[in-house]
C-alpha cells in the first residue's frame, strides 16, 4: 500500500500544513472550547465572578485586598500572589482580632470558618477556606454589624 520512495523530499506540503495547523490548533480549537464553555458553563468560563447585591465584587479564585480588621485577610505572600485561600489554622488565628473589631462571638466565627472548609475530599489535599467566601458569609450572617462599617 505504501510506495517506497527514494526521491528527494517534497517540501511543498510544509507551508500548507503550517497554515492548516495554525487554523486548527490556534483558532478552531480555542474558539470551539470557548463556544461550548460560554454556552454550558458561563460562570466558570468567565472567571467565577461573585455577585453581591447584584454587583460583581470579585472572583472566587482570585484573592482581593482585605485590610480592614473586620475581615479575614488573605496571605500576602504566595507563589501566584493571588492565592484566594488560607489554611484553617490561619483562619482560626485571625478570629480573635475579628471578634474584637466586630463583636461577633469567637464561636460563631469559628463555625463559619468550619462550614466553609474545602479541599477535604477523601485522601487528597488538606482543608482550607476561601477568604472571599467566608467574608461574604460573615456579611450575610451579620449584615447589621457590617452595615455599620458601610459594607452591604
Partner 1 sequence: MIDAIQAFAVIFILGVTIFVARLLAPYITRVYSRVPSRLDKLLNPVEKFIYKICGIDPNHSMGWKQYFLAGLLLNVAQMVIAFLILVFQGKLPLNPMGFPGLNWDLALNTVISFATNTNLQHYNGEATLSILSQMTAIQFLQWTSAATGICMGIAFVRGFIVDSKNMGNFHVDFVRTITRILLPLCLIASLVFVVMGVPQTLSASTTLTTLQGTTQTILTGPVASLDSIMQLGTNGGGFYGANAAYPFMNPSPYSNIFMISLMLLLPTALIFVFGELLGKKREARPLLWGAYIIFGIALALAFIPNIPLVAQGIETRFGGFMSNFYTVTTTAATTGSVNTALSAMHPLTITSGFLGMFIQSIPGGKGIGLMYMVMYIIITVFIVGLMSGRTPEYLGIKITGRDVKLVMVAFLIHPIIILIPTIIAYASGAAAAIGVGGTSVGYTQILYEFTTSAANNGSDFLGASGNTPFFNIATAIVMFIGRYASIAILLALAGSMIGRKSGGTTGLKTESPVFTIVLVASIIILVVLAFFPFLALGPISSFFRGLMNGF
Task: Give, as ranges, the residues between 74 and 103 that touch partner 1 (CB under 8 A).
Answer: 75, 77-87, 89-90
Nearer to partner 1, 33 or 107 (CB): 33
Could you give the string, one character per residue 36-75, with x where binding to partner 1 holds by CB under 8 A and - elsewhere? xxx--x--xxxxxx--x--xxxxxxxx-xxxxx--x---x
Site size toward partner 1 (CB under 8 A) is: 81
Q: Report the candidate in 89, 90, 58 with the shortest Cα–Cα distance to residue 76.
A: 90
Euclidean distance between CA atoms 83 and 116, whole angstroms: 16
Distances (CA, A) of 77 to 30, 53, 70, 85, 91: 33, 30, 21, 12, 15
Nearer to partner 1, 35 or 107 (CB): 35
Site for partner 1 in 107-146 (CB under 8 A): 118-119, 121, 123-126, 128, 132, 135-136, 139
As a dihedral over the C-alpha atoms of residue 64, residue 120, residue 48, residue 39, rounded to 10 degrees, the angle is: 170
Amino acid at each position: 500500500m505504501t510506495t517506497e520512495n527514494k526521491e528527494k523530499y517534497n517540501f511543498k506540503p510544509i507551508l500548507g500544513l503550517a497554515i492548516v495547523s495554525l487554523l486548527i490548533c490556534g483558532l478552531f480549537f480555542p474558539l470551539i472550547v470557548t463556544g461550548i464553555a460560554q454556552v454550558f458553563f458561563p460562570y466558570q468560563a468567565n472567571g467565577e465572578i461573585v455577585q453581591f447585591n447584584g454587583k460583581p465584587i470579585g472572583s472566587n479564585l482570585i484573592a482581593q485586598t482585605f485590610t480592614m480588621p473586620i475581615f479575614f485577610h488573605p496571605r500576602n505572600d504566595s507563589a501566584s500572589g493571588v492565592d484566594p485561600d488560607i489554611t484553617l489554622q490561619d483562619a482560626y488565628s485571625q478570629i480573635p482580632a475579628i471578634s474584637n473589631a466586630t463583636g461577633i462571638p469567637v464561636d460563631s466565627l469559628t463555625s463559619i470558618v468550619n462550614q466553609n472548609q474545602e479541599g477535604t475530599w477523601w485522601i487528597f489535599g488538606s482543608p482550607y477556606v476561601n477568604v472571599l467566601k467566608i467574608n461574604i458569609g460573615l456579611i450575610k450572617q451579620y449584615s447589621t454589624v457590617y452595615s455599620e462599617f458601610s459594607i452591604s
